[in-house]
Structure 1
Amino acid sequence: MTTVIATGKTIEDAVMKGLTELGVSRESVTLNVLEQPSRGFLGLIGVKPAKVELTLIPKRKSESVVTEPDRIQISSLAESISSVSEADPYYEASEFIKEVAAGMGLEVDIDIKKNRDGKIFNITGDNLGLIIGRRGQTLDALQYLANIVANKHSTSFVRIVLDAENFRQRRRKTLEELAERLALQVIRTGKEVILEPMSSQERKVIHAKLQHHRQIKTYSKGEEPNRRVVITPK
């Protein structure tokens, strides 16, 4: 078997499933994102997992491909480095992001800041909605690939968080406001509410927002990629 197609809640989940099936590491395959994950409104309709294609590399050189859900296709996004080099991993990741943006017809700048977990790359420029994508799906895919590029050039693990137009903070605020509204609904009706499938990071935002609420409680149920937060009366 030289090629597998795998699905998952996120691109990362799908990739890990494919690697497990092939029994190889990420450095041994090329990645093609066939479908970005999508989520229906409040989990009612339109839930679709991510779908990726992994192909074994016959030689020690590979390339990664990402596809934006709105038919924006960019090929040859990143050349995998077969061994760790002495290059600055953050510079290499930054140049990779700019190359991807150029493939979308965008010219961007990147402001790099440090936080306790790694580096935050804040992307600035025009028409950044193309890079953010629906609910940040394209931004998440680009973040995943940028981390792969950076870690190819580092002897220790590095972590990069991509942001654009302050999307991460705005998304967190949206989720917290959603949690508050649904908590009031649960109190008013006395019936539990099950949210749409979310990533573990987004589920943590909901749990954290409501963890000290006196009238409701939250928990997660289901298996990835369809794990959901449940808000229920105490």
Structure 2
Amino acid sequence: MNGSIRVSAKTVDDAITEAMIQLGVTSDRLEYEVIEKGSSGFLGIGMKQAVIEARRKPEPEPEVVEEEPVAPVEEVREEKEPAEPVKEKVKEEAPVVEKKEEKPAEEQKKARELAEVQPQTVEAVKTFLADTMKAMNMEVEIETSIDEDGALCADLRGEHMGILIGKRGQTLDSLQYLANRVANKHQDGYVRVKLDTENYRARREETLKHLAKNIAHKVKRNRRPVALEPMNPYERRIIHSALQSDPYVTTHSEGEEPYRKVVITLKR
């Protein structure tokens, strides 16, 4: 595989997660081949790690968008209005769905003025994280800081962080949720905790922005809606934000948690 990387981890799933992180792609943009499935051995003796060879899928025609004038979008409008009235109704309702998802975050930001993080809260969060990592048999360094918004940030460093991140960051998100619960039991006012490791949050955000624009190109070219993989509310907001100024496409969310996903469609 040209331009490929070889990744090893405890399981194939962990190796895939690590490959996604290293290549900066989501699961739909990853190609991989299993070299070694790995085995747990007997009582941990003779354990073999899983090994995969992975690479990014070829980018689909990056220059197509340059050739997308207003006219093709207008043609889609003429085709869809008489032929697919039901779809047009869904599009009209889309902004409402998106607002339901976006508004709580905006309202919460106004309603929950962050309290000043107290020393005992920092220690409680660090103790919780350290105990959790110990239970997972992981040696992790924990560095805390207060960001410009007043949130408590905890950066975790160590080996095999792909395990801690989990598929699409689900393990890290769950741990962050629990850390927030711990923090808010130790002082008055609202405290927000952000967990990160190996700059995963920033890399994931850039990956999602790239994915959003890439899929938008496909929607413009094929004139058909495209549904992305299920994402959490934070990641869906990144997709919505990345395409909110695009004059040709619109976004809305469909489905129920935890399988709720963003759908990208042509504007009428």
- The reply to whether TM is greater than 0.5 is yes
Q: Secondary structure at the match of 2:240?
A: helix
- Using the TM superposition, give the Cα deviation of residue 105 of structure 1 relative to its aligned residue in structure 2, in angstroms: 1.6
Deviations 1:31-63 (A, max 9, x none): xxxxxxxxx955xxxxxxxxxxxxxxxxxxxxx
| CA distance, structure 1, for counterparts of residue 255 and residue 150 of structure 2 | 29
TM-score by length of 1: 0.61
Query: Unpaired segments of 5 or more residues in structure 2?
Result: 1-25, 29-117
Higher RCO by CA contacts (8 Å cutoff, separation 6 or greater): 2
- Aligned partner (choices 135, 159, 183) of residue 150 of structure 1: 183
1:171 alignment partner in structure 2: 204
Name the Cα RMSD after superposition. Answer: 1.9
Any unmatched runs of 5+ in structure 1?
1-39, 43-85
Letter of the structure 1 residue corresponding to residue 123 of structure 2: Y
Q: Does 1:114 align with 2:146?
A: yes
Are the structure 2 counterparts of residues 187 and 117 from structure 1 closer, same or farther at C-alpha, using a change threshold of 3 Å?
A: farther
1:218 aligns with 2:244: no
Q: Residue 219 of structure 1: CA displacement?
A: 1.5
Worse-superposed segment, 105-114 or 174-183: 105-114
- TM-score w.r.t. the length of structure 2 is 0.53
Give % identity: 43
Q: How many residues align?
A: 152
Q: What residue is the counterpart of 2:227 in the other structure? A: 194
- 3-state DSSP class of the match of 1:122? strand
Q: Structure 1 segments of 4 or more deviating over 6 A?
A: none
Q: Are the structure 2 counterparts of residues 224 and 128 from structure 1 closer, same or farther at C-alpha, using a change threshold of 3 Å? A: closer
Over alpha carbons, which structure has the higher Rg?
A: 2
Q: Which has the higher mean CA deviation after the structures are superposed, 149-158 or 175-184?
A: 149-158
Match of 1:168, as an amino acid?
R
- Quote the Cα distance in structure 1 between the aligned partners of 2:262 and 2:170: 19
- Once the two structures are TM-superposed, the CA of residue 161 in structure 1 deviates from its matched residue by 0.7
**Is residue 87–residue 153 contact of structure 1 (8 Å, CA) maintained in 2?**
no
Q: Say if 2:174 is the partner of 1:141.
A: yes
Structure 1 position 198, deviation (Å): 1.6
- The C-alpha deviation readout for 1:128-186, integer Å capped at 9, x for no partner, is 22211122111111111111111121122211010011111111111111101100100
Between Structure 1 and Structure 2, which shows a larger proportion of strand residues? 1
Match of 2:7 in 1: none
Matched residue, 2:157: 124
Report the secondary structure of 2:188's partner residue: coil
- Matches of 1:113 and 1:104 in 2, distance apart? 24
Distance 1:203 1:124, change over 3 A: same
> Residues 1-234 of structure 1: matches in 2 within 5 Å?
88-115=120-147, 116-234=149-267
Distance in 1 (alpha carbons) for counterparts of 2:154 and 2:240: 26
- The structure where helix makes up a greater share of residues is 2
String of CA shifts for 1:69-90, please: whole Å, max 9, x gaps.
xxxxxxxxxxxxxxxxx97111
